[in-house]
Structure 1
């Protein structure tokens, strides 16, 4: 179970505290067990800082605490604070990354879901970049047209292999299988099974998908359809 430790304190030496964290990260490289750390200051009180550190489990957190560098840094942190910082230990019972969930729902709905789903996920001025196309597909309605073309040509399904989020971007690695049952790129239905893999990166803004970059094995698809002979 994921474990999170929240450290709170008060100091007017936040810059020194930040440098202290840099020093600890460097000295424990390759041995620390923390997965992620965030340090913030209270907008209403800049002397109030909060550090949030995530570990894969409570046991991993204890391994991290046992490092001699961690103990030394703790004592130096206390010296920078007005009073000893407080610690809150949390077992994470829910970790919901909203942007990742949105992308997951999008890929579930692309094969056959209602097009209305795009209204709540994709910005009206969305921009779509596709390795197989020149230029950019503009707007949510432009994306609808792209999805419609694929639905017309194939009975298909996505499998999401992995999802990674970093800031306002989400990367999804996927595989795709479809039966060519309708016209696609001017080619009548061949009833051929087509498979491909790809990676898509989405950029979010204000909770909506603002931009997307699609990298997929278009050469393989053309070859499987008999449109390309190499």
Structure 2
């Protein structure tokens, strides 16, 4: 299969590469099985990170495959695999006409749901009055937090939960890692706060505290967050605030 021209971003980093394979075939089932064969033959060798195959709704014989590579070098390695060359020849034999290849430099790759989650984490930590949040969160939002006896259901309930944290701390989130798949976004975050007010009956200590956690959010068709599952070190936070000292004494 073809390889790509080298392109680097403004910072000098190697950019992601995509190859678009456009073909026409009346033997789609055989083509689909061939792709399974390629995956099996190249196990442990292939460098492609993502593959999507689409069928034209107006012409069932028109098939488009998009293959993603993390870099130009990885694309070259994949192209040089003997298994890739063999499968390519078999693919051509299944096509009604010679397939075409388009090599694409990725100049913008925006995970829209992930962007919504980042905006939510920024808005809840904003100074001043809490924003309405209805631009990022659905009115029927459902929150799962193992630290709470009951789930917060509805945007108003979630606002009250957030306000409890805001009364206790001036804080900010830092996104450490983020993965998006389908309607789910998983975010590993770190949190830093200044304890300025009452939190769970603990009066302000003035201490600067930190915490880490992971949250999985589900987004709806309109792009807003509709459900969330939190896991974080609440016990470690309480220890930093000195809340466990009395229990241990």
- Answer 1 or 2: which has greater strand percent: 1
TM normalised by structure 2 equals 0.88
Aligned partner of 2:24 in structure 1 is 10
Give the TM-score taking structure 1 as reference length: 0.95
Q: Describe the SS at the equivalent of 1:171.
A: strand
Secondary structure of the equivalent of 1:116?
A: coil
Deviation at 1:59, TM superposition (A): 2.7
Q: Deviations over 1:96-132 (max 9, x none)?
A: 1101111111112221266435111111101000121
The superposition leaves residues 78-109 of structure 1 with CA deviations (integer Å, 9 ceiling, x where unpaired) of: 11111111111001111111011111111122
- Identify the range of structure 1 (58-67 vs 155-164) with the bigger mean alpha-carbon deviation: 58-67
List aligned pairs for 1:1-230, cutoff 5 A: 1-112=15-126, 115-116=130-131, 118-206=133-221, 207-228=223-244, 229-230=247-248
Distance of 2:115 and 2:132 partners within structure 1: 14
Runs of 4+ in 1 over 6 A off after TM superposition: none
| Unmatched segments (≥5 aa) in structure 2 | 1-14
| CA distance, structure 2, for counterparts of residue 129 and residue 72 of structure 1 | 50
Aligned length: 230
Q: 1 CA distance for matches of 2:194 and 2:186?
A: 26
Q: Which runs of 5+ in 1 are unaligned?
A: none
1:198-219 Cα shifts (integer Å, max 9, x gaps): 0000011111111000000011
Whole-Å Cα distance in 2 between the matches of residues 61 and 212 of structure 1?
37
Measured in 2, the distance between the counterparts of 1:57 and 1:190 equals: 49
- For residues 50 and 117 of structure 1, the distance between their equivalents in structure 2, rounded to whole angstroms, comes to 42
